[in-house]
Structure 1
Amino acid sequence: MAVAGAIIGAAIGGWLNDRYGRRSTILIADFLFFIGAVVMASAPGPPLLIVGRVFVGLGVGMASMTSPLYISEASPAKIRGALVSTNGFLITGGQFLSYLINLAFTKAPGTWRWMLGVAGIPALLQFILMMLLPESPRWLFHKGREEEAKAIMRKIYPADEIESEIIALKESVETELQQKGSNTDKISITKLLKTKTVRRGLIAGVGLQVFQQFVGINTVMYYSPTIVQLAGFASNRTALLLSLVTAGLNALGSIVSIYFIDRTGRKKLLVISLFGVVISLGLLSAVFHETTSHSPMVSLQETSHFEDFTCPDYGEAINGRAWNCMKCLKASPDCGFCASATDKLLPGACLISNDTVKDTCHQESRLWYTRGCPSKYGWLALIGLALYIIFFSPGMGTVPWIVNSEIYPLRFRGVCGGIAATANWISNLIVAQSFLSLTQAIGTSWTFLIFGVISVVALLFVLVCVPETKGLPIEEVEKMLEMRGLHFRFWEKRNARSSSSQQEKGQSA
C-alpha cells in the first residue's frame, strides 16, 4: 500500500512542483509523512494502519522526485551530481539506520507502534528546517520572480559565474515563452511528446527509472532475508543479520557515487554499474541452479525417525527414494526439510511444516529448512548479493535520479520528473509483487537469469539513449537534446561541443 501511495504521490508531485514550487511540495510531503506515522502508530486495527501506509506512500512519491530536482536546481553545475548523490546516500543510509532502529524496538512494549511512529520525527525535523531554505531559483525565474531568483543565485554561485548563469537561465525562459505563447500553464501529454527536447529527455529519463527497478534491486532490498534462506541458510536471525549487511553495502555504494559522479560522469558510471550487475546476476543464477539441482536427498530412515510428522505428500509418493530436499519443499507449502544431525548435506527427513515439528527438529541439533535447501555453495550466493549491491548502488542506484533532475527543459521539469518517478514506482510495485511468484513458478535461478537479461538490455539502452550531462549547466543540456538525434555514442561528442559552446559564451559575456 505504501508503494501504491508512492505511485499516486509521484504523479501528483509533478503538478505540485510546477504549480507551487519545489520547496512547497517538500513541505507537503513532510506533512503527509508526519500524519501517516501518527496514524500508523495509533492504529487500533489493520484498516487504519493501511490508511497510514497510504499517507506515507504519498509523501514518499512526492519527495522521491522533488528532492533531487530541488537540489539540482539550487546547485552549481560542477558539484550538482555530487550533491544529488548525497541525497541518495542519505536515503540508503536512512534505510540502514531504520534496520538498526527496528532491531532496537523489537523488545520494547508496543514494538511495531514504535517502529512506525518514530518515522514522524525526521518528517517534523525536515519540515521545520525546510522553512529556513529558499525556493528553487530556476522555478522563481520561470514564474517571473526574477529579483528573488537572482538574490538566491548570488548566494549559490561564485562571483565570476553568476552573470553567465543568469543570462543562460533568462535566455532559456524567454525561448520557452516565445515557443509556447501565452499558454504557459497548460501542459498536455501531446505537447510533451511533440516537443523534441522533452521527448528525447523522457526516453532517457523514464527508461532509466524503469530499468532501475527491472534489473531487480528491490527483490534484493525487500527480500534479502528470503534470498539468504533460499541460498541454504536456515536461521531467520542469520538471514536478518545478513540483510543488514546488504543495507550497509547499499549505503556505502552511495558514498562511492558522491566521489565519482562529477569525475567520471553519469554515463560511464552507469555502464560500469550495469556491467557489474550482469556479472553478479549471472553468478547468482549459477549458484541457485547448483543449490536446487544438487540438494540433499530425502531418507526414508531419517523421515521414519519422526514417524508422527512425515509430510503426507512424501508418505504417499510412489518413488520416495527419488525425492530430494527441493522436491520435498516444492511438493507442498506444508512440507519442510529436517537436515541430518551429522552433516546438513547428508540425506535428511521430509516432514510436516509447523512450529511443533520445527522445534522437534531443532531439539536434536538439526537445521530446519522451509525455503531453500542445505548447500555447500551458499556462501557464493552471499558474494553474488554483495557484488550486486556494490555495483548497483553507485551507478543505477543514484544516476537515474540525477539524470532526471537535470535533463528536462525548465518549463516541463516538474511534470516530466513526476512522470519518470511514477514509472519508477509502478515498476517497483510490479517487480516486488512478482518476485516470490516467479521463484515459485520457474525457480530462483531462472528468475535471476531473467533479471540478468534485462540488465543487458539496460546496458544497450544506456549506450544509445542516455546523455552525458557532467559539468553542463542545465540550460546547455536542453540545447544538446535539441541539436541531434539519438544514436550510438553521440552524447559524448555532443557533450564536448556543448562544453566548448559554454566556454565561448562565458568569454563573450
Structure 2
Amino acid sequence: MVNTVRQDDSRQGPPVPRTGRFYIYAIVLVASIGGFLFGFDLVVIAGALPFLVEDFHLSAAMQGFAVSSAILGAVSGPLCGMWFTERLGRRKTMMLAAFFFMISTIGTAAAAGIWDFAVWRFLGGVGIGLAMMSSPIYIAELSPPHLRGVLVNVNQLSNVIGINLAVITSYFFSFEGWGWRWMFAAQAVPVALLIAGLLLIPESPRWLAARNRVDEALKVLTRINGKEQSEQELKEIEKELQQETGVFSELFQPGIRTALFIGVVIMIFSQVNGVNMMLLYAPSILAEAGIRVGSNAILSSIPIYLLILLTTILAFGLIKRFSRRGLLITSVLLMALGHVIMAINLQLHWPPMFTLVPMLIGTGSFTLGLAPLSWIIVSEIFPNRIRSKALAVVCFFLYAASFVTAQVFPMLTNWFAATFNSAAGVYWIFATICVACAVFSWKMVPETKGLSLEKISEFWRDHHQHKTGQASLE
C-alpha cells in the first residue's frame, strides 16, 4: 500500500515576493488558456449535436463518432507531445497546440459533411492532447511547492470556464442553418489570445536546466522566488537531474513504475466514471428525460455547467486546506452516490425534472475533487527528466479511455433502454467504477501536498527499498 508520505516542517514553503506572485499568476493565466480551449472544444459539440444530427442524418453510432473524433485526435497528441515537450520545450509545444486549435476552428466551421467535420475535429483533438499534456507540466514546474496544487487547478478552472462559455455560445447560436458553424468559429477568439500570450511568457526553468541552460533557468526562478531561494531550488534541480538518465526505460524502474501505474489508473478513472458523459451529453440526456426550458434542451443544462464553475472555484480552498487523498476519496464516493440516485430515478420513473438532482451531485463532486486532483497528482509525481514521457503515457490512456467511453455511451444507453426499458443499468456500472476508484485511491495514492517536485522524485526512487510498501519523506 502506497499511502503514507510524511511532509517536513517547511511544507508551506518560504514566502513568494509580491512581484513574483503577480508574475507567476500572469504566466499561469496564459498557460491555462489551453485548458479553456480543452473545455470549450469538447463541450461545444454537446450544443451542436442536435443540429448535426438533423443536417447530417446521424445514427447513434455516428453521434458518438461526432463527439469522440476530437478525443481520438487527443489520443495521438501525447505521442507527439512526448517528443515536442522534450526537444522544443513546454512553451513551444503549447504554441503548436494553438496552431492545431486554429486550423480545427476554421475547418469545423466550414465542414460540408460528417467525415470532413470529423477530420477537423480530430486535428483539434491533437491540439487538446498537446495542450493538456504541456500546460499542467509547465504550470507545475514553475509553481512554488505550497502553491502548486492551487495553480495547477487554475488550468481546471479555465477548463470549466471554457465549458460554460461553450454552453452559452451554443445557446446563443442555437438556430437553424449556420448556427452550429458559428458555435465552432467562436473558438478563434481564445486561440488568438493564447498565441499572443505565449509570445510573452518564459520557458520552464526545469526544462532549461535539463538542457544545461542554467543561467536562463536561474533568471526565471529568481523572478518568481527571489535570488536566495532560487539558487537553492536550482541546486536541488541540478542534483536530481544528475541522478536521472531521462531515457524511456527509466519509467519502468522500481518505484517510478509504481508512480506510472498510479498515474495511468487515476487518469483512466477520471474518464470512465460517467460524469464526463453527463457533461458531454447533458442536453441530450435532459431532452430524453422530457425536460424542456424555452423549448431548448441546451438552456436546461445550464444549471449543471454553472454548478461545476462554482465547485471548481470552491475546490481552490479545499485543495489548499485538505489532503490530496482525502479529497479524492470523498469526491469519487459522492460521484457514486449521484450515479446510484440517477439509476433509481430512471428505474422508478420519477418526475423528469428530478434528473437534474443526480446530475448536479455527480458533476459537482467530480469538479470538487477528481477532476482537478487527477491533473495535479500526475503533474507532480514524476521526476524532472522523464516527466514529459510519463505524462505522454498517462495522457495516452486518458484520451483512449475518454474516446471509448464517449463512443460507447450513447450505444450502451440505447441498448439498456431497448432491452430493459430503462438506461439505469449504465449508471449502476458507473457507480461501481467510482467505488473502485475510491478503493484504489485509499490503497495506492500517496500524499504529495506541500512537497517540492524534487522531494517527490526522491520518494519514488527510495520507495522500492521499503519492504512493507510504506514509504515516507523526512
Q: What TM-score range do you get, normalising by the shorter chain?
A: 0.7 to 0.9
- Conserved? CA contact 1:86–1:254, under 8 Å: no
> Hey, what does 1:43 align to over in structure 2?
111
Percent of residue pairs identical: 29
> Hey, what does 1:165 align to over in structure 2?
233
Out of 273, 291, 294, which is 1:215 matched to? 273
Out of 380, 387, 393, which is 1:413 matched to? 387
> Hey, what does 2:256 align to over in structure 1?
198
Q: Cα–Cα, structure 1 residues 196 and 238, in superposed 2: closer, same or farther, change >3 Å?
A: same
> Hey, what does 1:101 align to over in structure 2?
169
Q: Cα offset for 1:225?
A: 2.2
- Conserved? CA contact 1:7–1:426, under 8 Å: yes
Q: Cα–Cα, structure 1 residues 70 and 106, in superposed 2: closer, same or farther, change >3 Å?
A: same
Taking the TM superposition and a 5 Å limit, the aligned residue runs for 1:4-403 are: 4-107=72-175, 110-176=178-244, 180=245, 184=246, 187-188=247-248, 190-193=249-252, 195-233=253-291, 237=295, 239-291=297-349, 375-376=350-351, 378-403=352-377
1:300-337 deviations in Å (ceiling 9; x for gaps) = xxxxxxxxxxxxxxxxxxxxxxxxxxxxxxxxxxxxxx
Q: Cα offset for 1:42?
A: 3.1
Instruction: State the AA in 2 paired with 1:96.
Output: N
Q: Cα offset for 1:230?
A: 4.1
Instruction: State the AA in 2 paired with 1:111.
Output: G
CA distance in 1, matches of 2:156, 2:465: 28
CA distance in 1, matches of 2:296, 2:105: 29
Q: Cα offset for 1:432?
A: 1.1
Q: Cα offset for 1:160?
A: 5.0
- Conserved? CA contact 2:336–2:435, under 8 Å: yes
Q: Cα–Cα, structure 1 residues 206 and 111, in superposed 2: closer, same or farther, change >3 Å?
A: same
Instruction: State the AA in 1 paired with 2:310.
Output: L
In structure 1, runs of 5+ residues without a counterpart are 292-374, 502-509
Q: Cα offset for 1:56?
A: 0.8
Q: Cα offset for 1:100?
A: 0.9
Point out the more displaced range, 238-247 or 424-433. 238-247
CA distance in 2, matches of 1:226, 1:109: 20
CA distance in 2, matches of 1:116, 1:227: 22
Q: Cα offset for 1:465?
A: 1.4
SS at match of 1:106: coil
Out of 470, 480, 488, which is 2:449 matched to? 470
SS at match of 1:84: helix
CA distance in 2, matches of 1:107, 1:145: 54
1:157-204 deviations in Å (ceiling 9; x for gaps) = 24553233112111101111xxx3xxx5xx34x4422x1232011111
CA distance in 1, matches of 2:378, 2:339: 26
Instruction: State the AA in 2 paired with 1:388.
Output: G
- Conserved? CA contact 2:291–2:300, under 8 Å: no
Q: Cα–Cα, structure 1 residues 158 and 266, in superposed 2: closer, same or farther, change >3 Å?
A: farther
- Conserved? CA contact 2:171–2:298, under 8 Å: no
Taking the TM superposition and a 5 Å limit, the aligned residue runs for 1:490-501 are: 494=472, 498=473, 501=474
SS at match of 2:301: helix
Q: Cα–Cα, structure 1 residues 236 and 207, in superposed 2: closer, same or farther, change >3 Å?
A: farther
CA RMSD of aligned residues (A): 2.3
> Hey, what does 1:452 align to over in structure 2?
431
Q: Cα–Cα, structure 1 residues 45 and 434, in superposed 2: closer, same or farther, change >3 Å?
A: closer
Q: Cα offset for 1:232?
A: 4.1
Q: Cα–Cα, structure 1 residues 254 and 48, in superposed 2: closer, same or farther, change >3 Å?
A: same
Q: Cα offset for 1:252?
A: 1.7
In structure 2, runs of 5+ residues without a counterpart are 1-68, 417-421
> Hey, what does 1:311 align to over in structure 2?
none
CA distance in 2, matches of 1:236, 1:4: 34
SS at match of 1:63: helix
> Hey, what does 1:305 align to over in structure 2?
none
Q: Cα–Cα, structure 1 residues 490 and 278, in superposed 2: closer, same or farther, change >3 Å?
A: farther
Q: Cα–Cα, structure 1 residues 226 and 110, in superposed 2: closer, same or farther, change >3 Å?
A: closer
Q: Cα–Cα, structure 1 residues 238 and 39, in superposed 2: closer, same or farther, change >3 Å?
A: closer
> Hey, what does 1:301 align to over in structure 2?
none
Instruction: Give 1 or 2 for the bigger CA radius of gyration.
Output: 1
Q: Cα–Cα, structure 1 residues 490 and 386, in superposed 2: closer, same or farther, change >3 Å?
A: farther
CA distance in 1, matches of 2:336, 2:177: 44
Q: Cα–Cα, structure 1 residues 485 and 395, in superposed 2: closer, same or farther, change >3 Å?
A: farther
Number of equivalenced pairs? 401
Q: Cα offset for 1:41?
A: 2.4
1:230-275 deviations in Å (ceiling 9; x for gaps) = 4443678353222122122122221122222132132111011012
Q: Cα offset for 1:212?
A: 0.6
CA distance in 1, matches of 2:289, 2:172: 27
CA distance in 1, matches of 2:356, 2:426: 17
- Conserved? CA contact 1:198–1:412, under 8 Å: no
CA distance in 1, matches of 2:299, 2:186: 22
- Conserved? CA contact 2:270–2:371, under 8 Å: yes
> Hey, what does 1:423 align to over in structure 2?
397
Instruction: State the AA in 1 paired with 2:339.
Output: L
Point out the more displaced range, 102-111 or 473-482. 102-111
Q: Cα offset for 1:43?
A: 3.4
The alignment's TM-score, normalised by the length of structure 1, stands at 0.75
SS at match of 2:382: coil
